[in-house]
Structure 1
Amino acid sequence: MQKVFDVNHISVGLDKKFGSGGEADIFSLKAKPNILFKRYHQRVLDKRGQELSRKVEAMRHIAIFRNNPSLSWPKISLYNNRRQWVGYAMSRKNGIKFNSLSPMEYKNHIPDMDRLHLVNYLIQFVRLVSELHAQKVMIGDYNLNNILINLKTHQVILLDCDSFQIDTSESFFQCLVGSPDTTPREHQGVPFETVACRTSESERFSIAVLIFQVLMNWRHPFDMIGGESRAQNIKNGTFPYTKDSGSKVPKGNALQMWRNLPYGIRTLFIRTFTEGMDNPKARATLSEWIKELRIYYKKMQQGELSKELSGLAPSNQTAKQNQLSAQLPKPMQTASKIGSLFNNIFK
């Protein structure tokens, strides 16, 4: 396929393949390099092409998201020369996947990254999910590889939006995919396509898993000594970072990192991963996460808490520097590089 057509059968040429996945290939468009075309594989079109085309059209009519720079949202449907629906066009997003900022890789992308960066990204992410939930859109498949970070603007961007659960007044479309290690207990052990509906409560569990991974240097909350797979540990309902979990916390510095997290953050994790395992309504809400993450950010910015990526207690020298930083006049603090980069997160 060298060309695709819009609904009026006006053609546009395809440029090189931009990427490829299990369901589709991504191409750039010759005439519009800032637009990408997602072309579904024929086997996917044969199986559920009609449903996909309906879903994309329903998404396009949620106007509030159509031009949102933080979402790879469908802009227009595209067709082959026989006027058959084959995919859609979306704005091209630049950046790296969030997973590429792990402790082993971050220096290749943001050499001066610290915990201020990470918490800023998390605040943006949770606020973006909150906006989606307000329009009855659920992400369903929570995965750090589906989150992009723009290295110039530090903006958080969500990818693969066509897999989201969409609920409009006219139609409902399931999320058919997921990641077992971010899936709540009530949805464990069943095929994702049989999960009738993702809820805000089920999403809260998945969000808490991602936040934990980022704040704990990519360690999963259900990694544990003597445990099984992450998904099975979730199903078993044992969160290792509690007093009654014995010595299940992984060896190394995990326990020290945990203890260095703010009390409010730890409280939300414990509630979500203990009482919230079987009582979804007890899971931390998005507004609670935003509140505690903002408090964390401000305390680091003011020097009350360490900005070290390791999550470990700072050295005496670093502690003294933080104390001095906290005593600086406000204009000097807000003039810092990190302050100018992230001054939008409290709007």
Structure 2
Amino acid sequence: MLLKGRHDFRSDTITEPTEAMRRAMYEAEVGDSARGDDPTVAALEEEAAALLGKEAAMLVPSGTMANLVSLLTWVRRGEEVIAEHRAHVVMSEAGSLGGVVGAMVRTIVTPDGILRPEQVEAAVRAPSVLSPRTALLCIENTHNYAGGTVWSVEQVRAAAEAAHRHDVPVHMDGARIFNAAVALGVPAAELAAPVDSLMFCLSKGLSAPVGSLVLGTRAFVEEARKRRQMVGGAMRQAGVLAAAGLVAIRTMVERLAEDHQRARRLAQQLVGVPGIEVGPEPPSNMVMVDVRGTGLSAAEFGERLASGHNVWTLAVAPTVLRFVTHRHVDDSDVDQAARAIRAVAGSRRIGA
């Protein structure tokens, strides 16, 4: 169980499986997933593909592995990937784009994590013996380091069409695609339709303990299975984990709206607090709190929240703290976090 008394906003990855998931895991029918005969894994892959409107899906242990396998499938050594400059594949995957895939990355700076079609067009390399081939456009929805920014269906389509005009395929890091779908009030399949491949995580807001899915055409997924083997292979009796994933996609999507509401509740309580900058309408389940006006770094401010108020968060930039709402955070946790932030900001300004 989560530590008693801790108000933990570090990430939605800390969510624990529900009782229904635990029962499903206990009762799961299993086989050897590496040989393709685990019926529960097969059921999860089929249901996930149908839910996202793709031909096939493949279970892997983590979102980082899902992105890596997808990149390995699309990109060859010495080729180039286009991505937003704060994308997870750039910032938080241990340099696997260069170290494992052997690819270059051409980053695009945006204010909100959303690539405009004209930016994509400008970033695609003209064929030349001197330049790397543009092999892939990678987009992220929701965009983590941009504060949970949501790409609309129209924005996804516009960026994808710009890439496709140059025969460049598009991969979506959709770790939190269901947050985007719920925020927009559209089926996740509509957001997935314009892209050639995508992944999503079971182990964030959906609360499953482990797992992500890679999705695309049958041909893409079959090739991705070979790439999965290169970087660790399939799991064996993975139906134990897939059973929780089935419960997650069947029962945990709609409740993400509660997380979004609580993110707004937190942000609105912080508007106007001296020394604090925050937008009043976070797009999904993340609230970015800039503490530069207090004279403290994000790490220092976060340490005071944890040690003095048992509120836990994450520094994502020198002066920015990220608060992520999830199913283990209720209104009282949000209100405590707001009180703690006001207290730390106030004490710092008094003592400055």
Scaled to the shorter chain, the TM-score interval is under 0.3
Normalised TM-score (structure 1): 0.25
Q: Which has the larger radius of gyration?
A: 1
Normalised TM-score (structure 2): 0.25
Higher RCO structure, 1 or 2 (CA under 8 Å, sep 6+)? 2
